[in-house]
Amino acid sequence: MSTIIQKLREYLDKAEAEQIRQLDQLVAATGLPVYKDPKTGALLWVDVRELRLRFQLSVNRIAKFVEGLSQERLYYTVCKRCGAKYFPPQADCPRCKSSDVEWREVSREGELITWTVINVKPASFAHNKDYVVGIVKMPEGFNITAWVDADPATLRPGAKMRLVVGRRPGENYITYWFRPAP
Amino acid sequence: MRRVAIVGVGVSKFGYRPDVSLPELAWEAVKEALDDARLDSKDIEAYVVGNVGGWSSEPLPAVVVGEYCGLTPGSGIRVEAACASGSSAVRTAYHMVASGEADVVMAMGVEKMNESPTPTVVEFIGRAGNYFWEFENFGLTFPGYYALHATAYMNKYGATEADLCEIAVKNHYYGSLNPKAQFQKPITLEECLKSRYVAWPLKLYDSSPITDGSAAVILASEEVAKKITDTPVWIKAIGAANGTSNLSKRDDFTGLEAARLAAQRAYKRAGIDPNEPVKYLDVAEVHDCFTIAEIMAYEDLGFAKRGEGYKLAREKQTYIGGVIPVNLSGGLKAKGHPIGATGVAMIAELTRQLRQEVERGRQAPIKKGMALAHNVGGTGHYAFVTILSL
């Protein structure tokens, strides 16, 4: 069962394959990666060196959040000293400077505040159909940003939304999203 | 703190600029600013470069530009405040002169966004929020962040897509009169309304373009300014504030809290009544990266009451002759938005407006001698409001 990671690499490679082939041919023929911009006639040097970025982000201090995801649960934190609630969960409370937090599961229903449909997508999301991103107000008092699995024409401010945690269809890693509450 | 004057300004041609490298592009604005101030590179004691980069090849733009423009060994740094990097460069240069550390400092901004293909640029700007909690799983884009505000604003106040397009029509009109603007043609409301969605409800014509460009301003102490120019323009006040990186941490999506705070702080320092700022100002440049952003700016700056900014657009009150003319340069929308250069270009434009030397048809009548620049970084992640005066 492949996930998005390998599929995305293949997708991006495929999108650039023709350009890379042409660049290689150009260098083989002329000895230089230089061409004339068809729009303006300006001379352009196409970078011979490619930089691929993939970051490693520490989730060590929010390990409980990761453990929750693996059980298809979403956790937030509450400061044991002052009661401040955090989503995204954070291990430190800047309000009272305590790092003693309690992990609690987020409620499953909230109200839609606002939303958009991403029509022009970033390169690493270009394999998706247009997707809806919303911000939902939760009863705990914080908001959650996530995809909304719904026809955008049916959405209204204040609409009741159900939180879902699970493997995202098509990408196959565990994350969270909303769908209209039944 | 000493008074600080703007004594020279320069702006490159904005647009798709494969004809120049990053330092060559910077030089266009630097040379124009030096000529304007009748100074040489060696007269610049320190320089500050607004540049966000990522999409362009140089990781240390300040030293590359400094070398090319003959500014070394004067001290130079790069500053970053997203789309407000230019204003943060001006503010840092202002502090250097105001504090007495230096007498002549250049603030510049330069960006070559077209060194990368568009999907990569879309990816970079989309990552400019809170990376892990907004982009990694949800693929938000920059138009997407502003679209979240547009949806909330339109639902709450009843503004329409046509109201938003009024901003685009105005800014393209003034852009067509600015030879340095990326877009040189006026557009109609229908063309705007028919353009495709990039992040519903925002369309292509609601959005500023991907732009290469540079801008430079030279700041000087009062003593030096009076020796080299008869037309100093003074930096009267700068107000700055930040908003949360993660949009979900905010209570309200119909305005930008950081911009409201920056305006209040600037108005207080400049002695402007926050209830009637338009009475003090001849002209403003505001951050219209998307049409909704200009409408929210009217309200955040106090040009209109909360929920009534779209009416200024609908009634065409921000053209010359209206309540206050806004974005006579064409704004980010039509002049273009080379991220790190935008804030510096606003200051250069307003300096020329106050000196009454911009092109016919887009010169504001100068009666009160004050102008305002509103420059937002990200989606209200950073905000700077700068007040200039004769």
Query: Is residue A127 exposed (0-12), middle (13-18) or buried (19+ Cβ within 10 Å)?
Result: middle
- Give the nearest chain A residue to B251 (CA atoms): A143
pLDDT of residue A141: 97
DSSP B177: T
The amino acid sitting at B16 is Y
pLDDT of residue B165: 98
A82 interface with B at CB cutoff 8 Å: no
pLDDT band for position A1 (cuts 50, 70, 90): low
A122–B123: do the CB atoms touch at under 8 Å?
yes
Q: What is the pLDDT of residues B364-383, one digit of tens each?
A: 999 999 999 999 999 999 99
Chain A CB contacts of B120 below 8 Å: 123
Q: What is the pLDDT of residues A36-48, one digit of tens each?
A: 999 999 999 999 9
B120 interface with A at CB cutoff 8 Å: yes
Q: Is A31:A24 a contact under the CB 8 Å cutoff? A: no
pLDDT of residue A3: 86
The yes-or-no verdict on residue B248 having pLDDT over 80 is yes
Q: Which residues pair with A161 in a beta bridge?
A: A110, A180
CA angle B107/B111/B114 to nearest 5° reads: 170
Torsion of CA A172, A170, B131, A91, to 10 degrees: -30
Tokens in use for A157? Answer: 């401010």
Scanning the structure block, which residue is given the tokens 């009741």? A160
The yes-or-no verdict on residue A19 having pLDDT over 80 is yes
Mean pLDDT of B46-73: 97
CA distance B46 to B73: 9
Chain A CB contacts of B156 below 8 Å: 157
- B349 SS3 class: helix
pLDDT of residue A15: 87
Chain B CB contacts of A49 below 8 Å: none
Q: Is B290:B208 a contact under the CB 8 Å cutoff? A: yes
Q: Which residues of B participate in catalysis according to the annotation?
A: 83, 337
Alpha helix positions (H), chain A:
4-30, 63-70
Tokens in use for B28? Answer: 């266009």
The yes-or-no verdict on residue A2 having pLDDT over 80 is no
CA-based end-to-end distance of chain A? 31
Q: Is B329:B320 a contact under the CB 8 Å cutoff? A: no
Neighbours of A159 (CB within 10 A): 19
pTM of structure: 0.97
Give the DSSP letter string of B219-234.
EEEHHHHHHH-S--EE
The amino acid sitting at B20 is V
Please provide the average confidence, as pLDDT, over all residues in chain A: 96
The yes-or-no verdict on residue A125 having pLDDT over 70 is yes
A66 interface with B at CB cutoff 8 Å: no
Please provide the average confidence, as pLDDT, over all residues in chain B: 97
- Give this complex's ipTM: 0.95
pLDDT band for position B330 (cuts 50, 70, 90): very high
CA distance B214 to B345: 8
Worst-scoring range by mean pLDDT, A75-84, B38-47, B125-134? B125-134
Query: Is residue A38 exposed (0-12), middle (13-18) or buried (19+ Cβ within 10 Å)?
Result: exposed
Neighbours of A2 (CB within 10 A): 8
pLDDT band for position B210 (cuts 50, 70, 90): very high
CA-wise closest residue to B292 among B84, B99, B152, B138: B152
Mean pLDDT of A9-29: 93
pLDDT exceeding 90 applies to what percent of chain A?
91
Q: What is the pLDDT of residues A49-97, one digit of tens each?
A: 999 899 999 999 999 999 999 999 999 999 999 999 999 999 999 999 9
CA separation, residue B70 to residues B37, B116, B132 (Å) = 16, 27, 40
